[in-house]
Amino acid sequence: MGSNSRPHAVFLPYPAQGHVTPLLQLAKVLHARGFFITYVHSEYNRRRLLRSRGAGALAGLDDFRFEAIPDGLPPSANDDVTQDIPALCDALSRSAAAPFGDLLARLNSAPGRPPVTCVVLDNFMSFAQRVANGMGILALVFCTMSACGFMGYLQFMELMDRGYVPLKDESFLTNGYLDTVLDWVPGMPGIRLRDIPSFIRTTDPDDFMVHFDGGEAQNSRHAQGIIVNTFDELEQDVVDALRREFPRVYTVGPLVTSVKTLARPDAAAISGNLWKEDASCFQWLDAQRPGSVVYVNFGSITVMTPAQLAEFAWGLASCGRPFLWVIRPDLVTGEKAVLPEEFFAETKGRGLFLNWCPQEEVLSHPSTGLFLTHSGWNSTLESICAGVPMICWPFFAEQMTNCRYACAKWDIGLEIDNNVTREEVARLVKEAMDGEKGRDMNAEAAMWKEKAVAATEEGGASSVNIDCLVGFLLEGSVPTTAS
């Protein structure tokens, strides 16, 4: 296949870590199937990548290139944090279409690059779909979230139409109203209002994120296909419901597993980690007993109060287990995360603290026995693929939905209350690692790990769906997805 006759896929993630990672994984999978790849960062994240990984971070390969477009936000005083989510969504939707269109036009005329044949865009970047369609380019939406989370966003307009949103007043957050069961949501029997992505917890009828996220979900109906980073058996009812609403739904996950076997070896070093990873933890992990370590990481966006940080800290101190805790510099709202000296004295030799780490490898380490997590979808999938049970402290968005499924449907998680206390942290850790519930969770986690592997092996549902996706991107035909 000549260089100019190759299919050329342009990938556009929403510029946050949890979106950059899975889109890059899918890009590597398509790259191995013969696609020329252009992966588009925001200029802000491009600078962060160069800082975290050096000039080689964006070197790419001859047929796997990186580009950047402005996000529309003014320069920031601190440019090594995840940007304000509502402001970023607003700026991108207002100002990114023109530079993205300019980029596609430039790529189409660039010597040595084949013309763009398809755009794979993040589900929160629908402006790119309109730009691609206007240029006659095939556009597919990539759902970086769970199928259940995406189905939740699809209900935003309906929730407003039925009068559930906005809330009447602040008391509805605590008076039991959020426990209302929504028995009409497709494929999600028993789902409660509190399990729907958290932006609906507002008293403002004009709340920006409700209208933005609800609108972006509905915009995905205009795409030529929906790609979801999940596997059918994990979310079968929801996936079936999505397939009744969308003509083409490709479940291709967990991509964290697929990319290991399907990506080309020369693409292995291509990374999208926006923070510098600290791999010094593995020597410490090697010295711990199998299944004994509590791994704590609240992801790239979660923030907490100093009081909440202290409760988690003293809960970990009193649980008696060794722990590895990732504490981002911006974890605490408005200030640097600082733990008391007495805490360090109490946990000396038992606790290890890092700014960021190679999470997938930490979860897969034999010493890791439990994951205290914010229930982001990448973290949830990585935990499932490693067979590690979770304690879930969801922060926002569809993390609430993921938490509900992990705890109530997949039986691999325990939920911790938002008003976290040290006593509850210690109790749940002990229950998950020493109690009868913990033994059950370990058995379920091992089962789901096997099912995740089976889905991505040759002949598995996700593997077949990757074949169907590639066929559609190459031919523009309408293949049948795996059942």
* Tens-digit pLDDT profile for residues 192-240: 999 999 999 999 999 999 999 999 999 999 999 999 999 999 999 999 9
- We report the CATH number of the domain holding residue 378 as 3.40.50.2000
Say whether both 71 and 19 belong to one domain: yes
Say whether both 418 and 471 belong to one domain: no
- Which residues, including other chains, have CB under 8 Å from residue 327's CB and lie 6 or more apart? 337, 353, 354, 355
pLDDT at res. 61: 87
| Domain, as residue range, for 327 | 280-434
Say whether both 253 and 290 belong to one domain: no
pLDDT in tens, 32-47: 999 999 999 999 999 9
pLDDT in tens, 447-465: 999 999 999 999 999 999 9
pLDDT at res. 130: 96
Neighbour order of strands in the sheet with 323-326 = 351-354, 323-326, 293-297, 368-373, 390-392, 413-415
| 304: DSSP letter | B
Say whether both 463 and 429 belong to one domain: no
User: From CA 465, how far away is CA 455, in angstroms rounded?
Assistant: 10
**Assigned token pair, 191:** 């789902």
- Nearest-10 crossing angle of helices 377-386, 255-262: 60
Q: Roughly how many angstroms between the first and final C-alpha of the chain, as a whole number?
A: 32
Q: Is residue 164 part of a domain?
A: no
Q: Is residue 155 part of a domain?
A: no
Say whether both 132 and 213 belong to one domain: yes
Q: How many domains does the chain have?
A: 2
**Assigned token pair, 224:** 């030529």
Q: HSE on the CB side for 113, CA within 13 Å?
A: 23
User: From CA 402, how far away is CA 392, in angstroms rounded?
Assistant: 9
Residues 376, 399: contact at Cβ < 8 Å?
A: yes
For residue 75, what pLDDT band results from cuts at 50, 70 and 90? confident
User: From CA 77, how far away is CA 79, in angstroms rounded?
Assistant: 6
Say whether both 293 and 425 belong to one domain: yes
Q: Is residue 480 part of a domain?
A: no
Q: What is the mean pLDDT of the chain?
A: 93
Residues 27, 11: contact at Cβ < 8 Å?
A: yes
> Do β-strands 138-143 and 118-122 pair in parallel, antiparallel, or remain unpaired?
parallel
SS3 assignment, position 296? strand
Q: Is residue 452 part of a domain?
A: no
Q: Bridge-partner residues for 294, per DSSP?
A: 323, 370
pLDDT at res. 404: 98
Q: Is residue 138 part of a domain?
A: yes
pLDDT at res. 26: 97
**Assigned token pair, 44:** 């802000």
**What single-letter amino acid sits at 461?**
A
Say whether both 469 and 425 belong to one domain: no
Q: Is residue 392 part of a domain?
A: yes
Say whether both 268 and 290 belong to one domain: no
Q: Is residue 73 part of a domain?
A: yes
User: From CA 98, how far away is CA 82, in angstroms rounded?
Assistant: 23
Say whether both 310 and 425 belong to one domain: yes
Catalytic residue among 8, 41, 63, 122: 122
Say whether both 118 and 237 belong to one domain: yes
| 181: DSSP letter | B
Global pTM reads 0.94
Say whether both 234 and 330 belong to one domain: no
Q: What is the mean pLDDT of residues 99-122?
A: 96
**Assigned token pair, 148:** 């259940």
**Assigned token pair, 47:** 């600078």
∠ Cα 415 418 424 (to 5°): 60
Catalytic residue among 8, 19, 31, 374: 19
- 211 in catalytic set: no
- 179 in catalytic set: no
Residues 384, 449: contact at Cβ < 8 Å?
A: yes
Closest CA to 146 of 256, 230, 214: 230
Q: Is residue 190 part of a domain?
A: no
pLDDT in tens, 361-418: 999 999 999 999 999 999 999 999 999 999 999 999 999 999 999 999 999 999 998 8
Say whether both 291 and 389 belong to one domain: yes
pLDDT at res. 32: 95
